[in-house]
Amino acid sequence: MASTDEIVDQIASFALFADLATPQLERIAHMFEEAVYPEGARVLRQGLSGSAFHIILDGEAAVVIDGDQRATLARGDFFGEVSILLGEAPGADIVASRPLRTLVLSGPQVQPVLLDNPPLMYRMLQAQARRLRNANRWRS
């Protein structure tokens, strides 16, 4: 398990956390747990309960909807936030396409972290807008 200082160093390099100062990063770093998944493991299951927010540290994950791979996620990408924010089951499977290491924030901790760190919330909103734009391009 990574130390708080190691987690701060890791998340500081991700676009999602780019607007947070070191003291802000230190306040949230201790909330994360590290998780490791072998290739082929389903991290989230479409239609079943999802209760955690993940940020990829190493490896890759496939976004699979109804059996079709729609996207690939890699270092610095995140997933699980939509089902937590909406209180709904995940709309996709997230499958480790290579060995995967993530930082995990439990569902109940997500809202307080976002409300206490508006720049983080804004960066997440930007990422969601990009995903929506890309999904719309994919459909046309």
Given a cut of 80, whether residue 140 has pLDDT beyond it is no
- Give the per-residue pLDDT at 129: 92
Does residue 134 sit in helix, strand or coil? helix
Distance CA 13, CA 11 (A): 5
Residue 138: which pLDDT band, with cuts at 50, 70 and 90? low
- Give the per-residue pLDDT at 139: 63
β strands within the chain, DSSP E:
33-37, 42-44, 52-58, 61-65, 68-73, 78-79, 93-96, 100-106
Average pLDDT in the 110-135 region?
Answer: 92
Does residue 6 sit in helix, strand or coil? helix
Q: Please report the domains of the chain, with CATH numbers, ordered by start residue.
A: 4-130 (2.60.120.10)
What is the pTM (predicted TM-score) of this model?
Answer: 0.91
Is the distance from CB of 40 to CB of 100 less than 8 angstroms?
no
